[in-house]
Amino acid sequence: MLDVEKIRNDFPILSRKVNGKPLVYLDNAATSQTPKQVIDAIVEYYSNYNSNIHRGVHTLSQEATDAYERSRENLQKHFNAKHSHEIIFTSGTTHSINLVANGFIPFLTNEDEILVSEMEHHSNIVPWQMLCEKTGAKLKVIPMTEDGELDLNSYTNLLSSNTELVFVNHISNTLGTINPIEEIIEKAHKNSAAVLIDGAQACPHVVPDVQSLDVDFYVTSAHKMCGPTGIGMLYGKEEWLKKLPPYQGGGEMIEEVTFEKSTYADLPHKFEAGTPNICGGIAFGAAIDYMNSIGFENIAAYENEILIYASQELRKIDGLRIYGTAKHKTSVISFNLEGIHPYDVGTILDKMGIAVRTGHHCTQPIMDYYNIPGTVRASFSFYNTKQEVDLLVNAVKKAKRMLS
């Protein structure tokens, strides 16, 4: 069991008021809040050893380099990568996906096919569309079902000798669906296709073991899991990272530069051009430490309890429909009130201090599937409470009365 009140004391922002009401923060799928332990790591860096890394012989540079590389090793252990150089620091999930998409340009032709799922975030759709435009490869879509699960029979039928790449999210940011990525990866590999998993929504709730999954690429962002914005991770199998060309050119990613020719640095620096987000990388490691101190099994169990309670209470409201009713899902609830635009509901909830997300959540194909303009999305974290769920439910009821 979690001591939620003690945990909430770690998050300074949770004590503030919005529109004169205590903040009820239910927008965790967009970005999670940051505990003091991570804030302290950021302050510590800028207060005591702010310096550029890898190239300096002075003490501050060495201290910053050591802290940054310790964070990389921290991520390696957390995700169980075989080598620390398989962990590439990026600016976030979107950057990670674009890095891989750009890297595959030399390897695809107009005879090749790429599979993505219907429930992907735009960041896991648009880069592959751009890749197809550059290479002539064809993009094919794995359909979803009414309850928000992937149609695995259709996926199996879509796989062919022409399939080179498969891209699927681990957990849907809109529906909360936990996709069966083990089966998806296994089937793709039997077909000799590489797989990238978008783990942005999964990593706050579970610990992916990239070796056990046998995944080729796994990507995520720190700001979804109690870390800062502007920093993320690309895990890639060593053999793939060695094959892919650099995404950007500049300092740090080179071994030798002449005007005739440049040679590139070894992994991971080959993909880390320029001065990185040093503080962000260090804070990412601190966020991993913080969440592991609570325990991901504890987090998952508590969030599932919140999900069940919130789903049960929201369903009692007449005219409310929840989108995403998969058997396996995490603590995300997307819903609408019949005849009321989600934006209007979200605006009223904000007046009562409740932060939710409204719109298509960068998953417009999902909205097109259900023929809706968007949803109200309440996404819960381990620092939320059942009392906050009650406040949400009462606020939704009030919004319904005001807008009906």
Domains in the chain (CATH in brackets) are: 4-28+295-403 (3.90.1150.10), 49-292 (3.40.640.10)
Please name the helix (run of DSSP H) or strand (run of DSSP E) that holds residue 323, with its range, or none. strand 320-323
Measured from the Cβ of residue 101, the count of other Cβ atoms closer than 10 Å reads: 23
Q: Which of these, 335, 323, 347, 334, lies nearest to 403 by C-alpha position? A: 347
> In angstroms, rounded to a whole number, what is the distance separating the alpha carbons of residues 117 and 124?
9
Contact 14, 384 (CB under 8 A): no
169: helix, strand or coil: strand
Tokens matching residue 301: 């169990």
Q: What is the pLDDT along the chain (404 residues), one digit of tens a residue?
A: 799 999 999 999 999 999 999 999 999 999 999 999 999 999 999 999 999 998 788 999 999 999 999 999 999 999 999 999 999 999 999 999 999 999 999 999 999 999 999 999 999 999 999 999 999 999 999 999 999 999 999 999 999 999 999 999 999 999 999 999 999 999 999 999 999 999 999 999 999 999 999 999 999 999 999 999 999 999 999 999 999 998 877 777 777 777 877 777 788 999 998 899 999 999 999 999 999 999 999 999 999 999 999 999 999 999 999 999 999 999 999 999 999 999 999 999 999 999 999 999 999 999 999 999 999 999 999 999 999 999 999 999 999 999 98
> In angstroms, rounded to a whole number, what is the distance separating the alpha carbons of residues 125 and 117?
9
> In angstroms, rounded to a whole number, what is the distance separating the alpha carbons of residues 284 and 69?
11
Q: Which of these, 105, 378, 385, lies nearest to 245 by C-alpha position? A: 105
Which positions are annotated as active-site residues? 362
Please name the helix (run of DSSP H) or strand (run of DSSP E) that holds residue 230, with its range, or none. none
User: 115 - beta bridge partners?
Assistant: 140, 166
Q: Any idea which residue has 């990412």 for tokens?
A: 284
Contact 172, 119 (CB under 8 A): yes
